Every structure is written in structure tokens, then in C-alpha cells.
Structure 1
């Protein structure tokens, strides 16, 4: 039976924060001559590359498109790619798109990120790629992954869909690619900044950058330096089998406007996270996400782990009880290896990645977004503490 709609406004687990400046930026593009492949996209790419400290940036239609052409652009051939089961399906799906066999390695139960030790154990002579996901905004242990790939022909792609604004231990912004071949971002509305849909790849590899530009737009180039012939100004060449993954000018204008607010959004998220940690510190039936003293992390999700058995309630019952108080929740994520396509195609099964499965059995994401008021935050805290 479908639960009744609560009579009080629901605080969702995530939501975009759009203001008059964002609206004006999009409107200006709508009134301009170009709605695609224009100056707004190039400006957004330049701003994002400068913000994270990378040499190059390519903006695309969404985060999945970013993963796809990034992996295609690395030209790895057949083999295996390793990633975490604690993520959205797009990370491993992109491996399958480019002919790699997705392989999972278990998570570190403390950080909830891909475990370097489990990744090392999963390496084979067929491993071509490691794709760590910075879950909930906390960067994975990138120096460890870089070290294990250094003496092997293994590429590294960071899935930073959750982690724009975060910094590594020791400094450096996620996306500067000091530890990887490339980093991808997502700008879906629940992410820290949004362009509606949208994604981007940052890299310091000029060759990869040039391939990404072509793969984004049908494999076509108009660059005179790259053409095999040039009979006139109309000329273009398809030099690869590419895709139509271009970002629109409206998306780019919104993304650039949002990027200018990133520091403010980050500060508000950090304040909410600090209040949650303070309020939930004494609950012996709830495990909080890891705290990061001395490391600047822009948390995308605030995921708690609840001992449902100890409190005598199921997860659906808890979600319903919170919804009755106007608090929306979500589960991040159903382990990818438990999805039917992976079971049927790659033979994955329950029990293969016990840390990820234990985490999933207890996980619940609470509301976290910059537009939350202090009253919203206290309503969430009151509702959670009232569960027991």
C-alpha cells in the first residue's frame, strides 16, 4: 500500500539552490545567438579547470557521458576495470561501454570508499583501469591507487561526481589530476553545484584532451592543424567514432554561475554536517560518517548507518516514520554487484563484497543541501533522535 502523503512540507535528501543570478545567466544565453557550441561552454570549462587546478576541462551532457568518453579516450583496449560496488551503476557501466569487464573490490568499512588492499588483491594481468569513487564527497586514498598503478600499465580515472570542492589529505583540490589520468564530475540537481544535467572531465594530458573534444561531438574535428585536407571553411572530418555528448550553452551558463557560489555552498554544507555530528554523537544505534579533521571535505551526502535490529524497526518503517515528520531520506547505494544485469552478465552474487553489503543493510541518507535552514536541520535531528 502506498503511504499517505504527509501534510507538512518534506525536506528532501538533496535539492538544487537556484537564485536570481543563475536565472539571469541562463536568460542571457537564451537571448544570445548561440544555444550550443558557443562561448559559455568554453568559459565554464576554463573556470572549472582553474578552480580545481587542472590544465584542461571538457564539459559534457551529464556525468555518465563524462565517464564514457573519458574511458573511451584512454584507449585501453580489452581487459578489466576495477571499481567499488558502493556507487551508482554509471561507473562500472562505462567500463562495459568501452569493452572492459567490470570488476569490483570491496570497500573500506571506515571510509566507505574503495579499499586499496582489496583493489590490490583484485588486480590481474588483465587490469587496465582503476576507477575510485569519492563516495559522499570524501576523497578515496588516491596515493595508494597511484602507487599500485605506477609499475603496471593501469590507468586511473577518479569519479568525483560527489566531490567537487573537496581536497585531498595534504592539500590539492579533487580534479587537479595529480594522482590520476582524469577526473569526472557530475552536475545533476542533487549535487553540490548543478547545470540541470551536465558533467565534465578534467585532465593534464593534452592528447587525452584532444581526443575528448572529438569524442564529445561525433568524433569530428574542424581544427586546421588536425585535418588531413582543408579545401575550404566548410570542411570538417570525422576522425573517430564519437558521440553527441555536448553540453548546451544554457547548462554551461548555469554551471558557471553555480561554480561562483561553490565556496559558499561548501561552507553551508560543512556547517550542517558539523551540527549533525554534534547531535548524533551519543546515539549508540547510529554510526555517523567519518569525520575529517584537518581535511577540507565538501560532503555531498550525510549517510548514517542505523542498527535497525537494535531499535526494533525495519528500514522502510524508519523511512516512513521520518517522512511523517517531513524528513525525506534515500539509500545510497544498492551495491552494483547485486543488480540483475551484473548478476546475469558477470556472475556476481550476494556475499562477494561483505563490507559493502553490511554497509548497505544499514545505510540511510539524511537531508543535506545548502538551502536548508537551521530550522530544517533541527527538524531532521529531532525526527532522527525520536526514532528511539
Structure 2
């Protein structure tokens, strides 16, 4: 028995990360302080964007971005193949998600988006998710944005570091706003955290206000200017406590310095999997060469092979290999079905879900670990 537990992903923390956090713990600032500003500046430089507003989670970044883009009642095209937070943010803003089926990359199908957009101008935005680290075609999004006047949000929770031709995930060259996640299994981690990135001054200003209870402290922006209290501030909107701390920011900043190493390692591991599954019934998800490989997903036609996915996952778990299924279609969830959504309206996403497995891929996965995973998968699925 292989004496090790191998999850589908995990964080990579080194001594530099630990030292960075300890340094902040010994400083005067634990909550929002200079490290947040430093982290935001580093993100702006990495993505070459005008604004970066760090918040407490990827979900918080989606929520604030949605409030900055949408009005109540707006209809928004989005994917059923994502974590719940993407469509939930649309609902939080009082808008209406419209689920569009997926393409070969398990990303939202832009051709189907155009089919819907051709029918009228009721669609106000597209919330596009770079699933598993594979960017959605930026040129396709630019085309839809320019032709139909829709706003574009790029959900980069999976794709920080990914590129497509001359575009980089989150660079805002083809979208109004992008959102990042720094959850432990993402490209970099701040333990918990997220970020709104944009070149739009209005969105950035609103994001700064909404992350801190809707408070404005700049006297030039006050509505009431006759209070001479030097500590006076105004709550001008209903905001939230979505601030990121200096502790989290120190970790995120240290991690960002290693992102090239992280990306190189993930891509190297992915190539090993690619080679191992050539000409087998274990089919790696179609990727573009510049994927950030947040996930390594394979598709298996379990029905055709006469296999049971649940039994295979349980058997592999007993051997120490913990797999995942990304994702249960959002429109299959009871909350959304109670709102009138039907998972059968996106049959490709449903078919994808029934065939997908996310297998271990993370910085720190050893050659021995990966060989064990490959051999175990082949044994369970192909024998």
C-alpha cells in the first residue's frame, strides 16, 4: 500500500512565505495596511492594469464586480460549469443568470452566446469563466462586446498566469473587469483572498468603497462638506466588510514572486499526464498551450466502458488518491432548479459533468506520486 494521501490539489508554502507572514505579525499592522497596497501594486504590475482592489475572497471579488457592472433585472450570460460563486454574484446583484452550454474546453460556448445575442438586446453582460486555467478566446469576447454592446467580466479564479497570443488572463484588454481568487489551491494563495482588476476608474472607485462598508474618506468626494471633524467619513452606499488583511497580503505577495515557477511546474506535470494517456479511454480535457493548469481534468465515458465513476473514486480514495469532479452544473443545484432552471437545457455541460475527473496536479507532486496516480487510474478505468 502506498503510504501517502494525494489530493487533487494543495498549496505550496516555503520558508519565504512563512517569513513574510511572521514579519507582518511582528509589525504594527495586521488588518488593512501597507502590505495590502504593496500586494495591489504587484498585481497591477504583473497584469499591466490600472487598478487592483484586493478583497477577502474570490467570491467577494465577484460580488463587488457584479454590483459595479450590473443593474437589477439585467440578464447575464454565464456558464453552468463553474463554482457557484460566479452565478451567485449575478443573483446577489439582483440580475438574472442565463446559462449557456459549454464548448470542447468546458468553457462557455461563445457561438451559442452570439446565437442568444442575435435575438435582441436584453442581454447586458457575459460572465466568462476561464475553466481549469484555459482562457476563453479574447478575440471572440472582443467581437461580442463590440458588436452587441455587452459588458464582459472575466472570472480568472482558475487562470492567473495563463496567456492567449498577446493576451494575459486578467489584463483587462478584452473585458471591463476581471476577478481573481487566492484560495489555497489556486495559482497563488493568500490563504483566503481575491482581487478586482480593471482599467475602468468608475469600477475601481466603487470597488474600493464597497469593500469597506460603502465608506468614503476622501474629503473631495464628500456629499456633505460642512463637517470640520478631521476624522469625518461618509457612508455613501451599502457596502461590506470585504477588506483583505496585511497578513494575507504578505503571503500573497510572497507567492506572486514565485508564480513563474508555479506555472512552469504545473505545465511540466500536465505534459507527463498528456503523454501517459495518449491513445487510451482516459481523455485529457482539451487545453490551449498557455493554460495555467489550475486543474488537470480527464474525461472518461464510464457508461461506454461499463464502469461506475463513484466506485472508481471510492476505490482510488482507499488507495490514498482523492479525486474531484469540477463541476456539478450550477443549473442542477436545487436553489437554481427552484428558480426554474433545468440542467437538461445545457446538455453538453451535463454530459461533461458525468464524464469528468480532476486528478492530482499541484506544485509538490513528486515523480513517484504522479506515476502512482497514473498507474492506479489506468488500472481502475482501463482494466
Same fold (TM over 0.5): yes
* 1-structure distance, mates of 2:317, 2:73: 46
Normalization by structure 2: what TM-score?
0.95
* 1-structure distance, mates of 2:316, 2:208: 46
* 1-structure distance, mates of 2:62, 2:343: 26
- Report 1:73-112 matches (<5 A): 73-108=68-103, 110-112=104-106
8 Å contact kept, 2:105–2:287: no
- Report 1:230-309 matches (<5 A): 231-283=228-280, 285-292=281-288, 295-309=289-303
Compute the RMSD of aligned alpha carbons: 1.4
Structure 2 equivalent of residue 383 of structure 1: 376
- C-alpha deviation, 1:47, in angstroms: 0.2
8 Å contact kept, 1:221–1:238: yes
- C-alpha deviation, 1:7, in angstroms: 7.4
- C-alpha deviation, 1:145, in angstroms: 2.1
Structure 1 equivalent of residue 308 of structure 2: 314
Give the counterpart of 1:129 among 125, 140, 157.
Answer: 125
- Structure 1 residue matching 2:180: 3-state secondary structure: strand
* 2-structure distance, mates of 1:355, 1:363: 12
Give the counterpart of 2:336 among 326, 339, 342.
Answer: 342
8 Å contact kept, 2:78–2:128: yes
Normalization by structure 1: what TM-score?
0.94
* 2-structure distance, mates of 1:321, 1:171: 44
- Report 1:111-122 matches (<5 A): 111-122=105-116
Q: CA offsets, 1:219-255, max 9 Å, x none? A: 1011122123251321111111111100111111111
* 2-structure distance, mates of 1:248, 1:313: 47
- Structure 1 residue matching 2:345: 3-state secondary structure: coil
Equivalent pairs counted in the alignment come to 377
Q: CA offsets, 1:138-180, max 9 Å, x none? A: 0012221221222434211000100000012x22221110000
* 1-structure distance, mates of 2:314, 2:268: 27
Gaps of 5+ in 1: 1-5
* 1-structure distance, mates of 2:86, 2:330: 10
8 Å contact kept, 2:58–2:181: yes
* 2-structure distance, mates of 1:187, 1:243: 19
